[in-house]
Amino acid sequence: MSITKIGRDWRARALAGLAVVSLIVGCSTGGSGSEEPTAEAPDVSTVTVAMTASSEPDTGFDPVYGWGSASHVHEPLVQSTLIKTDVDLGFENDLATDYSVSDDGMTWKFTIRDDAKFTNGNTVTAKDVAFTINEVVTNTGAVADLNKVKEATATSDTEVEIAMKQPDNTLLYTLAVLGIVPADEYGDNYGKNPIGSGRYKLESWEQGKQAIFVANPDYYGEAPKMERLVVVFMDEDAGIAAVKAGQVDVAYVSATHADQHMDGYELFSAKTVDSRGISFPVVPEGSPKREGMDGAEHEVGNNVTSDRALRQAMNYAVDRDVLADHVLNGHGTPAYSVADGMPWASDAMKVETDVDKAKTILEDAGWAEGDDGVRVKHDGTRAEFTLVYPATDPVRQALAAEFANQMKEIGINIGPDPLLVDIG
């Protein structure tokens, strides 16, 4: 029997559960709560940050292959972007000084600044912008979503025009995290030795261990306050141990560890559009194989979750408020789609928890309660399945356990199963 999963890449129907708050543990500058700096205040010229191993880019620091725009969306650091977003998800210029779109949404025009330089000393031009966009459009391995773009053309050294296949109101959000690469220096090894025009330069990268960034002295904007940034990649437990040992200044922690007090450190909570949910196969077993993200074909299908009524029942039965409180220690909110908090989110996706309605849906669909409390269909199919999650992810582990516990109330038996796999 195929299995369901907890993940971010929801290619099957997904039951959204939680909007996750990003939690960072960082050094207190004084330790006494005083606003005045003390002699023991840490040197901010070098900051060491512990991040989870999954934060390390598999293909290096190459924007074409997802650096800055894949599962972990962020400023690409080494590269500049045409535009950037502010705290309210509005847009600000970065490399761009001006931009416009035609009335029909089919043509975008950008004017870029003429004082930005790559770390090899060359000036950033519209040619580099067009090259980056076209590389993403034509490269089958590219991660950024520019599938509605037809072609980008440099019409001068500082002007670039983007022709669309069809209008795309999310284009600016994609361009806000797509780092610009140099057309004349880009190649297969770019991810290991990136050249960019961003706030930082990559000083060194020990794969599986750490990456060191240093401030770019030729950056056109305000100089970063942290002159040297050391990012160490380790699992969360190791990161917390490093915090307790005083070996790192900042560490990312999941909400399951947010209730721990660590001397000399403070907890910083930031709102994000990150979310966790549960994906269900919507076709029965024996369906044609489908190509996965690894390029290989895989068996798909589940005779339980392919029943639409059962998925609807679970959507009504799950108590998202309890999930937020129990799984995230209150550091999160209920989620109903992967677009919650975004301009295109729809309130129509929201449902109120209604266990009685969930039971009625199951009864009407022929899922009768069995002697052991697990529902059974007339053909003998039992309402039970396995739910897998990465063994190293405490949030997904807690989500799987709490969700399984809630579904018992409507007669669905779910077996959480930790696997040593990366499911995104």
Weakest mean pLDDT among 15-19, 209-213, 341-345: 15-19
Buried b (16+ CB within 10 A) or exposed e, 343-354: eebeeeeeeebe
DSSP symbol at 127? H
> What pLDDT, on the 0 to 100 scale, is given for residue 27?
58
> What pLDDT, on the 0 to 100 scale, is given for residue 31?
35
- Chain Cα centroid distance, residue 402: 22
The tokens for 206 are: 């020990």
- Residue ranges in 55-210 assigned as alpha helix (H): 126-138, 171-175
> What pLDDT, on the 0 to 100 scale, is given for residue 275?
78
Please count the CA atoms within 13 angstroms of the CA of 382 that sit on its side-chain side. 12
Task: Tell me which fold the domain 61-195 belongs to.
Answer: D-Maltodextrin-Binding Protein; domain 2 (3.40.190)
Residue 370 to residue 381: CA distance in whole angstroms? 11
**Three-class SS state of 276:** strand
Assess whether pLDDT exceeds 90 at residue 43. Answer: no
Assess whether pLDDT exceeds 80 at residue 205. Answer: yes
State the pLDDT confidence band at 140, using cuts at 50, 70 and 90: confident
The tokens for 97 are: 């000084």
Mean pLDDT highest for which of 244-248, 293-297, 312-316? 312-316
The CATH class given to the 4-21+275-419 domain equals alpha beta
Can you give 188-235 as a three-state secondary structure string? CCCCCCCCCCCCEEEEEEECCCEEEEEECCCCCCCCCCCCEEEEEECC
> What pLDDT, on the 0 to 100 scale, is given for residue 23?
52
| Mean pLDDT across the chain | 85
DSSP symbol at 304? T
> What pLDDT, on the 0 to 100 scale, is given for residue 77?
92
Residue 159 to residue 86: CA distance in whole angstroms? 24
Weakest mean pLDDT among 36-50, 111-125, 362-376: 36-50
> What pLDDT, on the 0 to 100 scale, is given for residue 54?
80
List the chain domain ranges. Answer: 4-21+275-419, 61-195
Q: What is the mean pLDDT of residues 141-148?
A: 88
Weakest mean pLDDT among 93-97, 113-117, 246-250, 327-331: 327-331
Weakest mean pLDDT among 18-22, 142-146, 314-318, 394-398: 18-22
Q: What is the mean pLDDT of residues 259-278?
A: 78
Close Cβ partners of 324 (under 8 Å, ≥ 6 residues apart): 18, 330, 332, 333, 334
Sign of CA dihedral 9, 251, 248, 38: positive
Residue 62 to residue 65: CA distance in whole angstroms? 6
Q: What is the mean pLDDT of residues 301-326?
A: 93
> What pLDDT, on the 0 to 100 scale, is given for residue 11?
33
Q: What is the mean pLDDT of residues 324-340?
A: 80
Nearest CA to 409 among 319, 286, 292, 282?
A: 319
Q: pLDDT by residue (tens digit) across 77-100?
A: 999 999 998 877 789 999 999 999
State the pLDDT confidence band at 410, using cuts at 50, 70 and 90: very high
Place of tokens 């959204």: 16
Residue 101 to residue 105: CA distance in whole angstroms? 6
> What pLDDT, on the 0 to 100 scale, is given for residue 208?
92
> What pLDDT, on the 0 to 100 scale, is given for residue 338?
74
Rounded to 5°, the CA angle 44-46-47 comes to 80
Assess whether pLDDT exceeds 70 at residue 9. Answer: no
Residue 52 to residue 55: CA distance in whole angstroms? 6
Q: What is the mean pLDDT of residues 15-25?
A: 55
Assess whether pLDDT exceeds 60 at residue 238. Answer: yes
Q: What is the mean pLDDT of residues 266-275?
A: 76
Which value, to the nearest 10 degrees, does the dihedral of the CA atoms of residues 393, 396, 397, 398 take? Answer: 120
